[in-house]
């Protein structure tokens, strides 16, 4: 142990919890490109966005100027049920690796949704309730977001309709039951409850669904049902704003002990965790006050940062959502069927895409056997069974700690442990059985996705 004065887990007191979210866009010189109306190809107005999202959330989506946004009292009250989350010093992992590096992880899995998704779900449910809505619709793939939203809606007594990718609905009945326990209705997607669902079923009978298709159904259901709006768990600017609570708490905990990280590592699917974790640190970097390395880690089989194009693209399969400028593999991209580790969205947050494009952060892709190897190593010494998504960040953190061992540098590494893997044991079983295969798409494999990109950039 390098510094006995630093406890295993740094918990903030409730009165030390951040009372505001931080909006990175306010400090970006080059702002992310605006969302475009899929019909007119013009920037979405507040009025247009308010047809899809709650009005206050639409406002947050468009607000590039306000750096700090007060967290409403009701949301703070809910946060206090599971936050502040611990910042843990990975003493046992350091010892196992025999590294001089100091490793910390911000653990967001200590709540029933099992991940950081609850931070934004409760905010979106709150604004929906405040607007007097009856309910919200959303999609879910693996189920973390759907679970988080159903918990949030149950708290505010709001109706919650989840379109769950059919293959997950059937293969992950337990996730479905958690959502039902919280009172949500869960519909396997594609379904015959929407026009787009019926169209897809007719064109692709027997399809097991996709995230892009479930998004289209959820948006249609929201925009055609009185008193409903659509909510989304990642990618959007508003989600990154809410998730900044992760980074703000992390920074407050580090500051309390005078710790300055050298690098901050997060897994990246749509960018909600990474964007939230790095937010206040990136703010310092953007304002020229401090420098940090930021590392996004994505699966080699869904490499939007490292092999995608920086272009306007559709966010969903049905092309009913606004267009976003982002690193994307194309809305027609489908990850290999052998990919087990989540993070399978074709695009990436516009904010993070712009920051990556402008050289403020790095990205790397890792293969899944290496990811599960890191997951198992971490679980055995640190006690927590990580979500496969989170294990991407663990992989990179371990790799960096091993580099430190080689160079003898005592760098400080912070990574985001976004959640737990209790509902991902099918993937672990595959790994335990030695039946997990790696897959790096060839350029040819990526072509169909890129072919689906609109001609707009």
Residue 15 φ/ψ, nearest 5 degrees: -70, -10
Least distance between a copy of itself and beta carbon 122 (Å): 10
How many angstroms separate the CA atoms of 251 and 249, rounded?
A: 5
User: Is the Cβ–Cβ distance between 430 and 371 less than 8 Å?
Assistant: no
The nearer residue to a copy of itself, 346 or 392, going by C-beta atoms, is 392
Q: Write down the least CB distance from residue 331 to a copy of itself, Å.
A: 33
In the block, which residue shows the tokens 């304002």? Answer: 287
Taking the least distance from each CB to a copy of itself, the nearer of 133 and 385 is 385
Q: Closer to a copy of itself at the Cβ: 15 or 444?
A: 15
Among candidates 368, 276, 197, which has minimal Cα distance to 376? 368
User: Measured between alpha carbons, how far is residue 413 from residues 106, 287, 292, 381, 428 in Å?
Assistant: 11, 22, 10, 17, 26
What dihedral do alpha carbons 297, 302, 305, 308 form, nearest 10°?
Answer: 170
Name which of 152 and 235 has its Cβ closer to a copy of itself. Answer: 152
136 token code pair = 């919200």
97 vs 352, which CB is nearer to a copy of itself? 97
Closest CA to 209 of 196, 223, 228, 222: 196
- The residue among 78 and 314 lying less far from a copy of itself, judged by its C-beta, is 78
CB of 95 or CB of 255, closer to a copy of itself: 95
Closest distance between a copy of itself and the C-beta of residue 10, in Å? Answer: 10
CB of 421 to a copy of itself, least distance (A): 9
Report the C-alpha gap between 336 and 328 in whole angstroms. 16
- Identify the sign of the CA torsion 58, 237, 148, 248: negative
Q: Which is nearer to a copy of itself, 118 or 326 (CB)?
A: 118
What are the C-alpha distances in Å from 187 to residues 170, 177, 220, 246? 11, 12, 14, 31
Q: Which residues bind a copy of itself (CB under 8 A)?
A: 7-9, 11, 13-14, 78, 80-82, 88, 92, 110-112, 114, 151, 154-155, 173-174, 177-178, 180-183, 376, 379-385, 420, 422-423, 425-426, 428-429, 432
- 317 burial level (CB within 10 Å; 0-12, 13-18, 19+): buried
Q: Find out whether 384 and 394 touch, Cβ atoms under 8 Å.
A: no
**Cβ 175 to a copy of itself, closest distance in Å?**
8
Least distance from C-beta 155 to a copy of itself, angstroms?
7
| Residue 454 contacts residue 329 (beta carbons within 8 Å) | no
Closest separation between CB of residue 254 and a copy of itself, Å?
Answer: 17
CB of 382 to a copy of itself, least distance (A): 7
Q: How far is the CB of 186 from a copy of itself (least distance, A)?
A: 11
Q: Which is nearer to a copy of itself, 133 or 375 (CB)?
A: 375
The whole-angstrom separation of Cα 174 and Cα 439 is 28
């Amino acid at each position: 142990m390098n510094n006995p004065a630093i406890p295993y887990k740094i918990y903030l007191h409730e009165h030390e919890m951040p009372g505001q979210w931080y909006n990175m866009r306010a400090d970006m010189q080059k702002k992310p490109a605006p969302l475009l109306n899929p019909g007119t190809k013009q920037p979405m107005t507040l009025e247009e966005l308010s047809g899809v999202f709650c009005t206050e959330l639409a406002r947050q989506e468009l607000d590039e100027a306000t750096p700090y946004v007060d967290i409403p009292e009701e949301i703070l009250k809910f946060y206090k049920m599971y936050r502040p989350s611990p910042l843990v010093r990975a003493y046992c992992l350091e010892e196992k690796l025999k590294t001089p590096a100091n490793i910390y992880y911000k653990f967001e899995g200590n709540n029933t949704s099992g991940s950081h998704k609850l931070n934004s779900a409760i905010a979106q449910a709150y604004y929906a309730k405040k607007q007097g809505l009856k309910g919200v619709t959303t999609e879910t793939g693996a189920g973390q977001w759907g679970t988080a939203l159903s918990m949030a809606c149950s708290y505010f007594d709001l109706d919650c309709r989840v379109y769950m990718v059919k293959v997950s609905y059937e293969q992950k009945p337990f996730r479905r039951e958690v959502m039902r326990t919280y009172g949500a209705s869960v519909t396997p997607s594609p379904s015959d409850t929407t026009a787009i669902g019926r169209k897809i079923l007719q064109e692709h009978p027997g399809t097991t669904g996709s995230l892009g298709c479930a998004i289209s159904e959820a948006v249609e259901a929201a925009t055609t049902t009185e008193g409903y709006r659509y909510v989304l768990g990642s990618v959007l600017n508003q989600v990154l704003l809410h998730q900044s609570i992760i980074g703000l708490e992390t920074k407050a905990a580090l500051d309390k002990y005078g710790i300055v990280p050298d690098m901050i590592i997060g897994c990246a699917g749509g960018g909600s965790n990474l964007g939230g974790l790095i937010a206040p640190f990136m703010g310092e970097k953007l304002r020229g006050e401090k420098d940090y390395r930021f590392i996004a880690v994505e699966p080699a089989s869904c490499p939007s940062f490292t092999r995608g194009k920086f272009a306007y693209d559709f966010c969903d399969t049905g092309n009913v959502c606004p267009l976003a400028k982002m690193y994307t593999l194309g809305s027609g991209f489908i990850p290999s069927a052998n990919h087990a580790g989540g993070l399978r969205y074709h695009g990436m947050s516009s904010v993070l895409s712009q920051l990556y494009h402008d050289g403020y952060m790095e990205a790397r892709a890792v293969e899944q056997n290496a990811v599960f190897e890191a997951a198992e190593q971490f679980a055995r010494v640190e006690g927590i069974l990580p979500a496969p998504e989170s294990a991407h960040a663990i992989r990179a953190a371990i790799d960096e700690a091993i580099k430190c061992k080689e160079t003898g540098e005592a760098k400080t590494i912070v990574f985001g442990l976004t959640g737990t893997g209790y509902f991902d044991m099918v993937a672990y079983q595959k790994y335990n059985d030695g039946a997990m295969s790696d897959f790096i798409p060839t350029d040819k494999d990526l072509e169909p996705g890129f072919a689906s990109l609109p001609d707009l950039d």
